[in-house]
């Protein structure tokens, strides 16, 4: 998985490419932990993500608890379906 990060003020944008599974979710969590100080809004661009496992969902849940706003943009149909089936679309903004 590749993660490109852009931090501007209180906002962090993460551009993610690859699968978010049990192995790569640790990498995502580490990047968030390193960059979250002073951040109240995180935008994750999932244009390059075609799969998210429950471990990835746990990272998103713990991240949402730490910031005011978590937005996921450019989700594939498969990933959006996972968010809807699990109810994550109720507390994460999807665009």
- Return the domain boundaries, the chain: 2-94
Q: Which two tokens stand for residue 46?
A: 């999932």
Which parts of the chain sit beneath pLDDT 50? none
At residue 9, the pLDDT reads 94
- Is this structure's pTM higher than 0.85? yes
Task: Please answer whether residues 75 and 45 qualify as being in contact, where contact means their C-beta atoms are separated by less than 8 angstroms.
Answer: no
Q: Please report, rounded to a whole number, the percentage of residues in the chain having pLDDT higher than 70.
A: 100
Pairing between strand 69-73 and 41-48?
Answer: parallel
Beta bridge partners of 44: 14, 72
pLDDT in tens, 22-44: 999 999 999 999 999 999 999 99
What CATH number belongs to 2-94?
3.30.750.24
Beta bridge partners of 4: 15
Task: Please answer whether residues 74 and 44 qualify as being in contact, where contact means their C-beta atoms are separated by less than 8 angstroms.
Answer: no
């Amino acid at each position: 998985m590749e993660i490109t990060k852009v931090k501007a003020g209180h906002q962090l944008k993460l551009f993610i490419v690859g699968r978010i599974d049990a192995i790569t979710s640790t990498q995502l969590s580490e990047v968030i932990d390193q960059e979250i100080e002073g951040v109240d809004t995180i935008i994750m661009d999932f244009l390059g993500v075609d799969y998210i496992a429950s471990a990835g969902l746990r990272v998103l849940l713990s991240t949402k608890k730490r910031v005011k706003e978590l937005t996921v943009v450019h989700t594939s149909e498969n990933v959006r379906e996972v968010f809807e089936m699990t109810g994550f679309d109720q507390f994460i903004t999807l665009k």
